[in-house]
Amino acid sequence: MKNLNRLLLISTLASALSLTACSKKEHSHEDGEHEHPSHEEGHQEHGHGHGGGISVTHYTTEAELFVEYPPLILNTESAFAAHLTWLKDFSAVNQGQLLVSLTGGGHPEERVVATVSQTAGIFRPVMKPQYIGKRRLQLILTDGTQQSVHDLGEVEVYPDAKTATEHQAVAEEESGLIAFTKEQQWKIDFATAPAVTRAMRDSVSAIGVIKPRAAGQAIVTAISTGIIKSATNDFPHLGQKVLAGQTLAYLSPRLGGDADLAALSLAIEQASITLDQASYERKRLESLLTLEAVAEKRVIEARQQERLAQANLTAARKRLATYQGGEGGIALKTPISGTVVAVNTTAGASVEAGQSLLQIADLDKVWLEAKIPESELSRIQTLTGGFFSLNSLSQAIALEIGKNARLVAYGGLVDANTRTVPAILEFSNPQQQLRLGMTVNTQLYTGVAQNLVAVPASALSDENGQSVLFVLKEGESFERRVVKASIRDGDWVGISQGLIAGERVVTRGAYQVRLAATAPAAMGHGHAH
């Protein structure tokens, strides 16, 4: 068996050494077309590592490197297939240059530079080592002002293929791994992240509703029966921004009894005549007073009658103006600044006394009212905050009391009907994205925390009641792993069993990886050769 493995390895190395004699064409299984690379590229792009080949996955803060290359042999061309991905968005590196460097071992540095091949993300430098022994291998990506240094540590440069074969261990391929190539990853919304150990805060589930603050809402009502008139050419509408004290509309009270517009006009005429008479009488008495023909008391009384007549005329005119055009009527003003969130009437509509006409709310700061089940109350030691999401797929919004939230109330009475206790948190509503009345999935922190291996919540999927992750074993190989999920804290989920810190999991694109395992044909091969 050992001899058979050795023969297979020698055969593979011979294939690697003959790369320059191979066809200088690139072939994609996905579209079946052939492309002709430039003369200076002059090497094939390979898929997954061949037996006896070396493959490495390496990360920096900027990029991921997945490289495949044959053992390094003196004076022999070794073709590298380096797949480079920007970690900021997991896109293929499509420009720049890749430097391959061999240093150390008491020999001069050897280096070779390559630009991106015809397949974005893949660089194909060819190194022809001139010195044997242990050397330090580095692959350095430079793209404008960015640089990503991938130090792969010490490697051995062998004097010949036979020696390389004798020293290379034949790696047994793990069974059950899922092949999902870099080319496939680059085409979809894909990302991975390492599992980390972090303090995970325990929480309890609650029913949450987004509500306006107590002082952050106002309802404009009709103070009497009447007709609504617009204060401007634009009647209040949903989403309109208003300021405290702003007149939004006018209410023209409805005439009662036998009153009509003619009667109001007659009242003005009568008040005007009464005022004229009072003015004439006051002037007459003032003239007699200068002749000392009347008592001063009568003049004072005449002046008072004139003022009273003037007041009656003014009131009569206002009563008539209420039912005429312009700005007549009772001004309906908003007591707070905010946004119009409800309009229950229109210009010209008849309304009844006490009817709700407009609702104004301050959406910059809102309340999360969470109703905690009675059975969960004993778990809460100290209410320190919580998090909520609009649905199971949306990103969680974390609230921490004393940082970005304020505890308004934590009820001391269990509701007799719902058997819940309310907790109210006040927080800012950026860009007013949250709408009043929304029901949200809410978790409230209990004040208890423990250190756990954790992954982003998006990495976890439920398969028939099992918590499943897809773990990156190598650049293009993944393992489906059943784990035991524990505490969820915002966008993180603790894993109590089945995963260790540092292992990298798929956080976006897990569905496509699962599809590659169950129906490879549906995903296509996608690897350039």
Whether residue 453 sits in one domain with residue 309: no
pLDDT in tens, 378-407: 999 999 999 998 876 678 899 999 999 999
Q: Which residue has the tokens 């809402």?
A: 217
**137 domain-assigned:** yes
The CATH number assigned to the domain holding 164 equals 2.60.40.1930
Cβ-contact 452, 496 below 8 angstroms: yes
280 φ, ψ (degrees, to nearest 5): -60, -45
Average pLDDT over residues 289-315: 87
pLDDT at 525: 52
Cβ-contact 440, 387 below 8 angstroms: no
- CA 504 to centroid of chain Cα atoms: 23
Rounded to two decimals, the pTM is 0.69
Tokens of 241: 């921004």
| 142/438 Cα distance (integer angstroms) | 48
pLDDT at 410: 94
Cα 28–Cα 33–Cα 36 angle in degrees, nearest 5: 90
Q: Which of 508, 506, 488, 504 is nearest to 496 (CA)?
A: 488
How does the average pLDDT of the chain come out, rounded?
85
Task: Give 441-477 as a DSSP string.
Answer: EEEEEEEEEEEEEEEEGGG-EEETTEEEEEEEEETTE
Return all residues near 284 (Cβ < 8 A) that are at least 6 apart. Answer: none
Q: Which of 208, 216, 237, 219 is nearest to 364 (CA)?
A: 216
Give all strands (DSSP E) within 87-125, no chain letters: 91-92, 97-103, 110-115, 122-123
Which range is least confidently modeled, 45-59, 133-147, 184-198, 328-342? 45-59
**Strands 72-73 and 146-158: what pairing?**
parallel
Cβ-contact 499, 481 below 8 angstroms: yes
Whether residue 299 sits in one domain with residue 279: yes
| 264/318 Cα distance (integer angstroms) | 10
Whether residue 495 sits in one domain with residue 457: yes
Total number of domains in the chain: 4
**Strands 97-103 and 365-373: what pairing?**
unpaired
Tokens of 290: 């200068």
Beta-bridge partner residues of 83: 66, 122
Whether residue 70 sits in one domain with residue 11: yes
The CATH number assigned to the domain holding 265 equals 1.10.287
Task: State the amino acid at position 71 in one-letter form.
Answer: P
pLDDT in tens, 206-244: 999 999 999 999 999 988 888 888 888 889 999 999 999
Q: Quote the domain boundaries for residue 298.
A: 256-322
Whether residue 291 sits in one domain with residue 239: no
Task: Give yes or no for residue 46 having a pLDDT over 80.
Answer: no
Whether residue 410 sits in one domain with residue 356: no
Whether residue 289 sits in one domain with residue 373: no
**116 domain-assigned:** yes
Give all strands (DSSP E) within 144-194, no chain letters: 146-158, 178-179, 191-194
**Strands 196-212 and 365-373: what pairing?**
antiparallel
| 302/298 Cα distance (integer angstroms) | 6
Cβ-contact 398, 490 below 8 angstroms: yes
Whether residue 143 sits in one domain with residue 11: yes
Q: Which of 450, 441, 461, 453 is nearest to 395 (CA)?
A: 441
The three-class DSSP label of residue 487 is: strand
Helix (H) or strand (E) holding 48: none
pLDDT at 373: 95
pLDDT at 196: 97
Whether residue 354 sits in one domain with residue 226: yes
**334 domain-assigned:** yes
Whether residue 127 sits in one domain with residue 232: no
Task: Give yes or no for residue 51 having a pLDDT over 80.
Answer: no
Whether residue 491 sits in one domain with residue 370: yes
**98 domain-assigned:** yes
Q: Which pLDDT band holds residue 411 (cuts at 50, 70, 90)? A: confident
Tokens of 130: 């001139």
**186 domain-assigned:** no
The CATH number assigned to the domain holding 372 equals 2.40.30.170
Q: Which pLDDT band holds residue 348 (cuts at 50, 70, 90)? A: confident
**356 domain-assigned:** yes
Whether residue 231 sits in one domain with residue 345: yes
CB atoms within 10 A of CB 324: 11
